[in-house]
Structure 1
Amino acid sequence: MVTSSILVLFLLGLTAAAVLAAASKVLHVKEDPRIAKVEGCFPGANCGGCGYPGCSAAAAAIVKGDAAPEICVAGGAEIAENIAAIMGTEVSFKEPKVAQNICTGGSRANLLFDYEGVEDCRAEALLYGGEKSCGIGCIGMGTCVKVCSFDAIRLNADGLPIVDMNACRSCGKCAEVCPTGAIRVSGMTMDLLHLNKVDDCLAPCMQKCPAQIDVRTYIQQMKQGDMRGALLTMKERNPLPLAVGRLCPAPCETICRRNIADEGVAIHTLHRFVADWEMNSGSRVRLDCNPPSGHRVAVIGGGPAGLSCAYFLRRIGHEPVIFEKRESLGGMMKGIIPEYRLPEKVVEWEIQTILDLGVDVRNGVEFGRDVTLESLEKEGFEAVFMATGAWKVPGLGIENDDAEGVVDAVTFLDEVGESIDALSGKRIVVVGDTNTAMDVARSAARLGADVSALISCIQRKMSANKNEVKRAAELGSDLKFLTEPVRVIAEDGVVKGVEYRELQYDDPKKATGTPKPVEGTETVLDADMVVIATNRLVDVDALKDQNGEPLFEMDKKTGGIKADKTTLQTSIPHVFAGGEAHTGRNIIIQAVADGRRAARAIHHYVTEGEIPEPKNPQLRVIPESILKNMQVVYNIPRIRVPEISVEERRSTFKEEVKGFVEYDEARKEGSRCLRCGLTCYDAEAGAEYAADPDVSRFDESGKE
């Protein structure tokens, strides 16, 4: 019985072996020898950053054609070239990426409770949602450190992850395990074109800035002496920091949390200080650009919006060409905004920085006359960005508003120093409440004129920056608030004066609605020249086809080209519009922001054929980030910016505001920054200056 059983088992085993042997011959698939060769090129990290379970699987995918030679995140260009040689292909450009920590809160975020569990961020987030009041902040257990195969992350003393950019291989493991999104992997294209989201760690100043500049980071970099890093941080969002640092009305400062304790940080002046550092050094900080992509984009207009769009397109690898009607780039920054606000050498420095990236320019080319949408398309341009600005000043619409001596503000400012170089004894009447009106008043006063301004509202309702209004008054301009012109008085077609009348609100205390004329208040002002500075509009005549029909759908509210608020795409799919050509008269930082937003949309359009809608975009100030009470320890007075004297201004056009001269001044002002996150802030900011005689401490109630 036993013997027969053994014999049966032996025969079964022999049969099975025979079957398997036969099957192996029939089913055997010979492995491609290139798989082993490709795998031998890899460093053997098996990190999984490529998306495959290991180096062997990645090698098989390359040989099969499912993956490119440059797939390995742990390897470099040499490894990719070796693999390409095995496969008989070429290495294509792969934009480097790196992990980044967006959270600055750490231990400074308010704790809700003490967590006493497994030291793992994911476990804490799953069980309790994290122990800090900020839901997008770093939990600080170091889970990202544990999963990194390249020792590229460490935790600092505050429990925040610090990424070694040189060691990071962008495998993405840290981002995968981070439960709050505090760690993200990104490259230059993503960094330059990222639109702020509500789940980003955004300080109020960053939320308010149209260009979404990372104020918190560049101030801390400047404070630490890393001027190059600070400049590069600014230029991720703003290619014109010198001009913006001089002209921007700084909406970021009005929402600065420091205002709750004492006075907002001089963000605008610190921005200029960093930009001035580069220009004063005489050498430009190197800006990386991706290799040319072959995608050509036409940019119509070389003002702030056009320059910004071209800058971002070129940095991410595309090939923009600027078409400019005038003989020089810069738009109103060049020759219209006065020298004492924005020196010509500053504009030229910024423009040259952009041109040095490889941006091509064609000057003296007018859209509609020398080039059209059709001719640009025939020339191979895949997209067009319209940034023609708002240069047209509307007439007053009153009697004799075409008399000799009535000029628009743009023409007046353009001619200052040319045909208009001496106004001593002349009487100039400026009409308007704009920054341009104040530029006219201040320029005329410098040339010796007796200046009056008719302003149809009270001072706090003016569209002009309050500092520009103040400086116009300091030069002796007679600012007549709540007035409007009734008619221009002319003799033989030449201006002799202006009749004007007073205005008043229905409710003078609240100053709401449109002011109405007050009967019986008509008065005459003698005048040799009347300058119109009420508004600036888009010249719609330049945006019509040969039959006089509009090329684009126009925005009735702004008078500009109608475009999607997020993508800036117009009614013609491959055409985008931004800056004042889209918004009408606006501030420079909005034009810069539009240029970047358009570059993002154009990038997706020419590379993918469609433009993805951003997820959870931050379109308005996040309510939870607006704090009412704060416990700030040190009261550090805001550093005052030096200006030339009023007397000196009367006789010169040299720059009025000098900005911070010494690094120590800028560093102390930077120490006032609370390094805010979404809800957290550094209560002890500026502690290093505690012993200074001008620094005091707040008590627990927030008083000195």
Structure 2
Amino acid sequence: MTEAILVMLGFGAVCGTVLSLASKIFYVYEDPRIAEVEANLAGANCGGCGYAGCSAAAAAVVSGKAPPNVCIVSGPELVANVAKVMGMDVGTAEPLKSLNTCDGGFRADDKFHYMGVQTCAAVSTMYGGKRECRVGCLGYGDCVRSCKFDAIHMGPDGFPIVDEIKCVGCGACEKACPKSILTVRTLSQRLLDINKTEDALAPCQQTCPAEIDIPMYIECITKGDYEGAVHTLRLRNPLILTCGRVCPHPCEDYCRRGIEDEPVSINQLKRFVADFEMNSGTRFPISCAPETGKKVAVIGGGPAGLSCAFFLKRVGHDVTIFEAMPHLGGMVRYGIPEYRLPKKTLDWEIQGILNLGIEARTNMRFGRDFNMGTLSYEGFDAVFFGIGAWSDYTLGIKGEDASGVYTGINFLSRFAGGEKIPIGKKCVVVGGGNTAIDCVRTLVRLGAEEVTLLYRRTRKEMPANVVEIEAAEHEGVKYHFLAAPTRVVSDESGNATHLEYLKMELGEPDASGRRRPVPVEGSETLIEADMIISAIGQRPDVSFKEDAKSLEDLVITRWNTLDNDPITLQCSIPKIFTGGDSATGASLVVSAIGGGRRAARSIHQYLMGESVKPPENVLFKTHIPESLFEHVDGVIPSERARMPELPVATRIKTFEEVDLVLPEEAALKEASRCMNCCRLCYNKDTRKKAA
């Protein structure tokens, strides 16, 4: 008996020793954070996240393979708790939502009759699908069947409709769609998306420098969803009141309806919904992503700077705008007269941007009141230069230093700032762009007896907006074409009395595509003028770089612009970005807005430690060839809405706004003219009437 007990004790001791050694050899450590993360998940074990239950999802979060918002059924509070456990910023918990980019459906023509398995996956294997459009929806509902939350249904027009309230962003629909028309994105990703060659885009949207989804916001108007139209616009453009008044709407040149009829008045419809919000007595809410803790300095409060600040704030970054002038707005405040853009309207729009939590410091000139060292000391992680093009080109002729001779932007900005400028009786403005037109129309309102615009080419080559050229003519401005100034004649007191010019004739086209003006020898002619304004263009003032050692590596081009990548807008110093006129030279307001958003995208990449680069196959200042038609079938001509305006006799005596907003009935009628185009699809008028 004793021997048996001793044997058993010995055996037990041996087993204990072995087990002790084994536990040390084969011990598996489990990170305690896994249990904490799992405790903050929904506990549904549904597998919708792509992992085998909540334990596996928690392990994926801790290992860095999944974000804190991996659980598709957890609310924001639980996601924030998970982020806190991981010591991560809650900003990573920005919710995902599915977005359908195609509304072609039954509008899309078929290229062959299909009699196979009724799934998108099956039909896509045959030449990419039966539809003529190679990027559009196939319509068999694989996405609908993949969704476990009843958040997608196939609409009556043959394309999927996403219910954003039910959508949890699980990504199942995106994986199921063989055409990639359903994408699961955060708000930030949608805000910073750039048009690509494979996108489903209408020609007008491809043309818009701000890349606005034009068919979408017009479709909202037709449904009476004005708030939805404003939100659609603000995904790309924060200055819709301003653009609705001053944009030359290049998008309308590519309106598909315009091929067979008059183009849709896209810009007037933008103005209509923008004014609707302003006059409604409330502001539609603007959502922003959670804070990232990153700080960006925006130098220049013009359209490019305001746009960049708006989008940076919406994706979670802290933004401060530094503006040299007393008020924000840049060239749209100090270069565009009140009769085109009332200051109270601009103020309302800018205040809406600042209300997001953006700080503005005015009367702060870079290089004088602060510099790169100041910004570094304050902890700014990146800098955006949107300094505009405030330096006027002079005529470069003898005598232009005479009293009574001004430059365009200098004249307009001084007047806009409240300065009393003596106005001549006979005024001549030299130039053919919008600044020249703004000058002549301002002079008419200030009481000049005779106002003449002198231009070295013909009316056809004038770069100014056609409607502005016509409006100035209606207001009594005289045009003198094919004339180039050669000298200013002044009296004994140094006051300008005449402008001498040479007659010109058009030769061969130059780099701009316009025929080059060639002087006619011996054709010198005098025109009486006691006030002369040179409005032949402007460029950025980059004098701030002269004494700044920290900016030695900042490359400036021969046009005084900041050298930059035209798509990413990153400069030669990696933390510096630019946009607007300081990137391109003097250009359109809407181009500056588009540049501000592209720069915000690049700055976001830089701040997040990503590579600063555009997406593959970016569509930049180009068009998708197959979307450009020569003929459009099924168009019944209908009259384009005419913009209401103040009568000439009234408006030339005041600076009240000339162009008025469309009445609601006219706006709805004009919106119905839009064919809701996409890449290839569009609504035919005949089909509308049949319905």
Q: TM-score, normalised by structure 2?
A: 0.91
User: Deviation of residue 292 (structure 1)?
Assistant: 2.2
CA drift of 1:612 comes to 3.2
Q: In the alignment, is the contact (CA less than 8 A) between 1:672 and 1:686 conserved in 2? A: no
Deviations 1:602-626 (A, max 9, x none): 0110111531331110121111110
- CA change 1:551–1:453 in 2 (3 A) is farther
Distance 2:473 2:687 in 1: 36
8 Å contact kept, 1:106–1:138: yes
Distance 1:38 1:367, change over 3 A: closer
Q: CA deviation at 1:116?
A: 1.7
Instruction: Give, in angstroms, the shift of residue 320 of structure 1.
Output: 1.1
* 1:56 Cα deviation from its structure 2 partner: 3.7
Counterpart-to-counterpart distance in 2, 1:284 and 1:379: 32
Following superposition, the deviation at residue 66 of structure 1 comes to 5.8
1:498 is paired with a residue whose SS is strand
Q: Would you say 1:589 and 2:587 are equivalent positions?
A: no
CA contact (8 A) 1:98 1:165 kept: yes
Counterpart residue identity of residue 518, structure 1? V
Shift of 1:633: 4.4
- Report the aligned-residue RMSD: 2.8
Offset at residue 61 of structure 1 (A): 3.5
Distance (whole Å) between structure 2 residues aligned to residue 273 and residue 686 of structure 1: 27
Give 3-state SS (helix, strand or coil) of 1:322's partner.
strand
Matched, 1:129 2:128: yes
Aligned to 1:483: 483
Query: Aligned-pair distance for 1:507?
Result: 6.0
- Could you tell me how far 1:78 is from its partner in structure 2? 4.3
**Residue in 2 that maps onto 1:679:** 680
2: CA distance, partners of 1:336 / 1:674: 36
Amino acid at match of 2:601: R
C-alpha displacement of 1:572: 0.9
Paired residue for 1:3?
A: none
Superposed displacement of residue 31, structure 1: 8.2
Q: Does 1:522 align with 2:524?
A: yes
**What is the alpha-carbon distance in structure 2 between the residues aligned to residue 567 and residue 291 of structure 1?**
24
Uncovered stretches (5+) of structure 1, i.e. residues with no partner: 1-17, 692-704
1:457-536 map, 5 Å: 457-491=457-491, 492-506=493-507, 513-536=515-538
Alignment of 1:338-377 (within 5 A): 338-377=337-376
1:263–1:638: 8 Å Cα contact kept in structure 2? yes
- Separation in 2, partners of 1:621, 1:654: 39
CA distance in 1, matches of 2:161, 2:322: 44
Deviation at 1:597, TM superposition (A): 0.5
1:624 paired residue number:
626
> Would you say the 8 A contact 1:674–1:682 is kept in 2?
yes
Provide closer, same or farther for how the CA distance between residues 366 and 264 of structure 1 changes in structure 2, counting only shifts above 3 A. Answer: same
Residue 687 (structure 1) shift: 3.4
Instruction: Give 1:521 shift.
Output: 2.2
Which stretch shifts more, 123-132 or 40-49? Answer: 40-49
Aligned pairs (5 A) from 1:41-190: 42-43=41-42, 46=45, 48-62=47-61, 67=66, 69-80=68-79, 92-93=90-91, 94-190=93-189
Q: 2:614 is matched with which residue?
A: 613
CA distance in 2, matches of 1:24, 1:79: 41
- Structure 2 segments unaligned to the other structure (5+ residues): 1-14
- C-alpha displacement of 1:181: 0.9
Bigger mean CA offset, 116-125 vs 351-360: 116-125
User: Tell me, what secondary structure is at the counterpart of 2:90?
Assistant: coil
In the alignment, which residue of structure 2 is the partner of 1:702?
Answer: none
Does the C-alpha gap of structure 1 residues 383 and 311 become closer, same or farther in structure 2, counting only changes over 3 Å?
A: same
Q: Secondary structure at the match of 1:515?
A: strand
Question: How has the CA–CA distance of structure 1 residues 486 and 675 changed in structure 2, closer, same or farther, with 3 Å as cutoff?
Answer: same
Does 1:541 pair with 2:539? no
CA spacing shift, 1:275–1:686, aligned 2, 3 Å = farther
Letter in 1 for 2:215: R
**Alpha carbons 2:288, 2:313 under 8 Å: kept:** yes
Amino acid at match of 1:457: R
1:493 CA drift (Å): 1.4
Post-superposition Cα deviations, 1:537-591, rounded to whole Å, max 9, x if no partner, equal 11132332258996621223x4311100111111111111111111111110010
1:494-514 CA distance string (max 9 Å, x none): 111111121001369x99542
* C-alpha distance in 1 between matches for 2:116 and 2:21: 53
SS in structure 2 at match of 1:641: coil
Give the distance between the partners of 2:111 and 2:408, measured in 1 at CA. Answer: 58
Instruction: Supply the AA of the counterpart residue of 1:594.
Output: G
Match of 1:699 in 2: none
- For the 8 Å contact 1:70–1:91, the answer to whether it is kept is no
- The 3 A distance-change label for structure 1 pair 261 and 530 is same
Q: Report the 3-state secondary structure (helix = DSSP H, G, I; strand = E; otherwise coil) of the residue aligned with 2:665.
A: helix
Correspondence for 2:293: 294
Q: Give the stretch that moved more between structures: 510-519 or 469-478.
A: 510-519
Partners of 2:201 and 2:64 in 1: how far apart? 42
SS at match of 1:634: coil
Q: Is the 8 A contact 1:95 1:290 kept in 2?
A: yes
SS of equivalent to 2:516: coil
Distance 1:596 1:37 in 2: 39
Q: 1:512 to 1:597 in 2, by over 3 A?
A: closer
Corresponding residue SS for 2:539: coil
Residue 44 of structure 1 and its aligned partner are, at CA, apart by: 5.7
In 1, Cα distance between the equivalents of 2:80 and 2:451? 70
Between 1:448-457 and 1:248-257, the stretch displaced more is 448-457
Shift of 1:645: 1.2
- The AA in structure 1 aligned to 2:272 is F
Deviates more, 1:564-573 or 1:610-619: 610-619
Q: Give, in whole Å, the separation in 2 of the partners of 1:63 and 1:590.
A: 44
Corresponding position of 1:426: 425
Structure 1 equivalent of residue 651 of structure 2: 649
C-alpha separation between the residues in 2 aligned to 1:106 and 1:208? 24
Length, aligned pairs only: 666
**TM-score, structure 1 length as denominator?**
0.89
Q: Give the secondary-structure state (helix, strand or coil) at the position aligned to 1:651.
A: coil
1:204 aligns with 2:203: yes
- Deviations along 1:432-490, one digit per CA (max 9) or x if unpaired, are 11111111111111222111111011112111111111111111111101101111001
Aligned to 1:215: 214
- Structure 1 range deviating more: 47-56 or 126-135: 47-56
Q: For residues 420 and 240 of structure 2, what CA distance do their matches in structure 1 show?
A: 30
For the residue of structure 1 that corresponds to 2:138, the secondary structure is coil
Q: 8 Å contact 1:505–1:511 — kept in the other structure?
A: no
Q: Give secondary structure in 2 for the equivalent of 1:657.
A: coil
- Rounded Cα–Cα distance in structure 2 between residues aligned with 1:92 and 1:546: 38
Give the C-alpha shift of residue 370 in structure 1: 1.3
Give the aligned residue type for 2:659: V
- 1:165-207 C-alpha deviation (Å, 9 max, x unpaired): 1111101010011011110011111111001111110100010
Question: Residues 112 and 549 (structure 1 numbering): CA distance in 2 closer, same or farther, change over 3 Å?
Answer: closer
**Structure 1 residue 321, shift from structure 2 partner:** 0.7
Whether the 8 Å contact between 1:428 and 1:530 is mirrored in structure 2 is yes
Matched residue, 2:5: none
Q: 1:187 to 1:402 in 2, by over 3 A?
A: same
Percent identity for Structure 1 against Structure 2: 44
Give the drift of 1:413: 1.7
**Cα pair 1:253 1:265 within 8 Å, conserved:** yes
- Show the 5 A alignment for 1:570-589: 570-589=571-590
- Write the mapping of 1:223-242 to structure 2, written as runs, cut at 5 A: 223-242=222-241
* Cα 1:62/1:209, change in 2 over 3 Å: closer
1:42 Cα deviation after fit? 4.6
Q: Tell me if structure 1 keeps the 8 A contact 2:336–2:438.
A: yes
Going from structure 1 to structure 2, the CA distance change for 1:513 and 1:335 (only over 3 Å counts) comes to closer
SS at 1:593 equivalent = helix
Secondary structure (helix, strand or coil) at the match of 1:506 reads strand
